[in-house]
Structure 1
């Protein structure tokens, strides 16, 4: 008589162990491949945004500005027709303020209802794992990871209300002629991470990559970045990068005060923000220069070089990175 032979329990366990080892070896490679694809998509987003800003400049003879009023619009909103969002741009009545009221009592202008919560994939980094949606004033807002360059960050070069040394501030009309450091040495936009929407505390810093340190006291733009960095926190919030349409510093601007992925939290003072570029890309962050080229900035970049890249006319000659 013929007897069928099956696997013994020991043989089965050995096979399972071998499969487990193979999976553990393969998983990091799969994750690296996925991150490589996400990084390429992020680079493509930056490339398209760089081209959009160039096309905006060709049309208007200057780069889009941050609204002179905090109740107005961001450069990201103004550039919509040049990133294939012309229909959305046409829905926005730029002749009216985005927000009504002033100070902490502002609310969305009803004529723009249903617009600010639209998620725009080109304004999102694929490696971002945070929440793009931000609830404020009873409204839901969609955020962006891609910030416009205000300046080097040191001194008052973080405040978009003080004509800093970058390319974008309130009422700016900068153009290529103003970039005396050279377009290949000056940042147009760089990325950041969404704030931890629920990471709000009056005392505790739990995640410097996601939380903002709030500092109170003094008039807007009256304190240097160095003073704000050293100041005690009045609280910590997760509101950064919460709206692509609002002309609020911590939503749409960036500067070079801290190196990429700094362990120091960003600092907010009356809406103006002292920042680091941040991302989930291993080892650094991405950006687009004024010449349209996309670069990867390592976390190890020299701080002086980093700040020089945010300056449009400081006379520095940053080393390649």
Structure 2
């Protein structure tokens, strides 16, 4: 996620265009993604960087052993403080097609050793919604799938927020990815929704993508509603009939500003109503949620902060509501 002024405006505009009047919530589909109870571990600069992605707590000078040791504390924190079983990690060609990859893998290896699922997602650097360099992107994915394709707990998201592509062009690019990496089971490929991952109805209906998981992003600053019912309708229309394949792999709200997300404090505020509706719908449809971010320094949405070699939570009511959405 990138929350610069320009991208906030673009997302808000897109949300306004997609907004619909309050309607009855459609019948929920049989769902099967609630095994993903996750968090994003993100770079303090955001993951849209022209260079190595370095999640908060790591440094460019870290060895593999150092990354692994630091990650052990952070991953344990995600598990112990939140109950998470999934971590979404950013990658890009600059990181993978360099010596940083051999060291950065310590983060994924730590998560896997702790019994976590790992989602690798590609972030582009140009911030235009397109793959920056198709050749480098292919080389990156060749290496990542070669290293982790044999591990059933690793999932691959070809691109985060492909807002530069039309639906047809995005489906075509994903189809090429699936063909190139046909050894990867489709059930371990996570295809982003169109735009800012904000709608999965198009990719869900594309027969070329049958069998893949889908990812949806959903944020409270995309609209100004202050009721759970309005936010439920907003989210339901972005899902259509594809809840059973969809992981909400980015959703988050302010966790360092003192908001109370507990029952009785939800309607009447934009973010508390949004977060309650998102987690309620995820729970009722048994959908996975990967919170943005589990850890990112300087981000008011970060649900944890570093404390020594581990983590502390930033908002207990937010954690409780997230766990509710996870079905816990």
TM-score range, shorter chain: under 0.3
Q: Which structure ranks higher in relative contact order (CA pairs < 8 Å, sequence separation ≥ 6)?
A: 2
Considering only CA atoms, is the larger Rg found in Structure 1 or Structure 2?
A: 1
Higher helix share: 2
